[in-house]
Amino acid sequence: MNLSRIKGPFIGKHIHTETDEIIYVLKGKGEVFLNGQWVPMKAGDLHICPRGVAHTTRAVDSEGFEALTIFTKPVTNDKVMLE
């Protein structure tokens, strides 16, 4: 997500029903709405938005904000025991 020079929310509050969303901040400052409150984010921070929990992300200034967003695969019973 390269959202340089954008101030405010990037997408409305939403949930994911089958994946967790992991946000790693590469550059700038922002906030993530999680568990009913806005949490500050800065470069180097990692936030996990669990499936089923409402969240959104926003920049707090117009200096630029970049984050890497990763979505997990739904958990399945793919464990193979070796011993």
| CATH number for the domain that contains residue 56 | 2.60.120.10
Residue 42 belongs to a domain: yes
Model confidence pLDDT, tens digit, residues 4-49: 445 555 678 899 998 999 999 999 899 999 989 999 999 999 999 9
If one counts the domains in the chain, the total is 1
Residue 80 belongs to a domain: no
Residue 58 belongs to a domain: yes
Is the model more confident about 50 or about 63? 50
- pLDDT of 44 reads 97
Is the model more confident about 72 or about 4? 72
The count of other CB atoms within 10 Å of the CB of residue 4 is 12
Residue 83 belongs to a domain: no
Tell me if 52 sits within 8 A of 14, measured CB to CB.
Answer: no
- pLDDT of 3 reads 46
Residue 57 belongs to a domain: yes
Structural domain span for residue 51: 8-71
Residue 2 belongs to a domain: no
pLDDT band for position 53 (50/70/90)? very high
Q: How far is CA 2 from CA 10, 25, 42, 64, in A?
A: 11, 10, 14, 9
* Placement of tokens 């509050």 in the chain: 13
